[in-house]
Amino acid sequence: MPVSSLPLTIDDYEELAQKSLNASAYGYFRSGADSELTLQRNKQAYDKLLIRPKVLVDVAKIDIATTILGQSIRTPIGIAPTAFHALAHDDGELATARASAALGSCYCASTYSNYSMTDISRAVNTPGGALQWFQLYVEKDRATTANLVRQCEKLGYKALVVTVDRPRLGRRLTDARTGFGLPRHLRQGNFDDDDDDNKVGKDGISRTGQGAYLTGQVDASLTWPDLDWLRSLTSLPIVIKGIFRAEDASLAVKHGVAGILVSNHGGRQLDGCPSTLEVLPEIVDACRNTNVEVYLDGGIRKGTDVFKALALGAKAVFIGRPVIWGLAYDGEKGVKRIFDSLNYDLRLAMALAGTTSIDKITSDYVVPASYYSFEKKLASKM
């Protein structure tokens, strides 16, 4: 490959992933729900916020290390839970886990990983030492869910991330068109029996092919008291993923969560809801004067995106699709490259904006793009 065509941006990696993956896998990873308005909005929102740089600040040393839930991380960028990494690379979630541990990031593994939570935790040199969280879908069969929670605690996962924006699956038109399903050779690591050819879970529901994706194991009747039930099962901190309005954030605080991940599932669930960046300030406000940390995912593709989300009050951000593009590019090494690129970009944004550490990135650095509207300024002179 000529030097000039080496991938530099997340979009470059996506373009390469599109070439290497089959249409159905690429479509599954890329797409959003319905008209994909929210998918696009997640990315576009970052353009509606501008960074006001300070100059003549000593930026010779930039530190992007921070903490989440009291644990140190070497980057404020974590890995959001995404299903089926083995569709992108044979090593699947094992590669993701190894890259994350090497990078000092936080990896939140999906309930619907191809490798089991045991394999994922053992993939790193220091099982229980790397910062791994586990994302939980509460299933109708509560015994299955309780079992996952107990295993998760035993294996040294540091938090349980409960996804609440998926009572039913959003309408993914691309997947309907390609007939997306999990190929028969791939497992759902947290559910399958290796030697069960039909890969039917204990609950009798097929978890491969269309079944893996479209059947309704997730409990659509989940309500707030169920969070208390979950808390009674574990002493792990609970992060709630998919909160989208201040009243729900306040309820989450009341129900004892340790963190809120502001997410619209990467635009894959309710199409037509705002971007996560737009919603972030009201959730941060609702959590002010509490110990609850607020994180964001959705649409992060550049260091300046990370900067803007942190400026609006996110303690850390998580990325979903970029990790998949890295995996498809070169497994563990590819994920590291994605992070090297975003971390480099973030450090650069901080230096150019005139700030040197994560806690110093405050709302003072950003303004809505409309603040600089020529129309408003000129009209006021007339």
Ligand X SMILES: Cc1cc2nc3c(=O)[nH]c(=O)nc-3n(C[C@H](O)[C@H](O)[C@H](O)COP(=O)(O)O)c2cc1C
Known binding positions for glyoxylate = 28, 137, 172, 263, 265, 268
Instruction: Give the contact letters, 77-96, x = binds to ligand COI (CB under 6 A), - = no.
Output: ------x-------------
**In the complex, minimum distance from the CB of residue 347 to ligand COI, in angstroms, rounded to a whole number:** 31
DSSP character string of 157-188 = ---EEEE-S-SS----HHHHHHT--B-TT---
Strand partners, 161: 135, 239
Instruction: Give the contact letters, 171-210, x = binds to ligand COI (CB under 6 A), - = no.
Output: ----------------------------------------
Residue with the CB atom nearest ligand COI in the bound state: 83
Strand partners, 79: 107, 319
Q: Tell me the helices (H) and strands (E) count for the chain, helix number first.
A: 14, 12
169 binds, among ligand COI, ligand X, none (CB under 5 to 8 A by kind): ligand COI
**CA nearest neighbour of 300 among 331, 274, 322:** 322
Catalytic residue among 85, 89, 185, 265: 265
Residues 99-138 that bind ligand COI (CB under 6 A): 112
Count the alpha carbons within 13 Å of 311 in the hemisphere toward its beta carbon. Answer: 24
User: Does residue 117 belong to the site contacting ligand X (CB under 6 A)?
Assistant: no
115 CB contacts (<8 Å, ≥6 apart)? 85, 86, 92, 93, 94, 123, 187, 189
321 binds, among ligand X, ligand COI, none (CB under 5 to 8 A by kind): ligand X
User: Does residue 213 belong to the site contacting ligand COI (CB under 6 A)?
Assistant: yes
Tell which one of 96, 217, 263, 356 touches ligand X (CB under 6 A): 263
340 CB contacts (<8 Å, ≥6 apart)? none
Paired sense of beta strands 66-68 and 71-73, if any: antiparallel
User: Does residue 345 belong to the site contacting ligand X (CB under 6 A)?
Assistant: no
Active site residue 265: yes
Please identify, using beta-carbon distances, which residue of 132 and 263 lies nearer to ligand COI.
263
Q: How far apart are CA 129 and CA 111, in angstroms?
A: 20
Residues 315-334 that bind ligand X (CB under 6 A): 319-321
Q: Are 261 and 252 in contact (CB under 8 A)?
A: no
Paired sense of beta strands 259-262 and 66-68, if any: unpaired
Tell which one of 96, 105, 110, 208 touches ligand X (CB under 6 A): 110
5 CB contacts (<8 Å, ≥6 apart)? none
User: Does residue 268 belong to the site contacting ligand COI (CB under 6 A)?
Assistant: yes
User: Does residue 213 belong to the site contacting ligand X (CB under 6 A)?
Assistant: no
Tell which one of 51, 62, 146, 169 touches ligand COI (CB under 6 A): 169
**In the complex, minimum distance from the CB of residue 352 to ligand COI, in angstroms, rounded to a whole number:** 35
Binding footprint of ligand X on the chain (CB under 6 A): 28-29, 42, 80-83, 110, 112, 135, 163, 241, 263, 265-266, 268, 297-300, 319-321
Residues with active-site annotation:
265
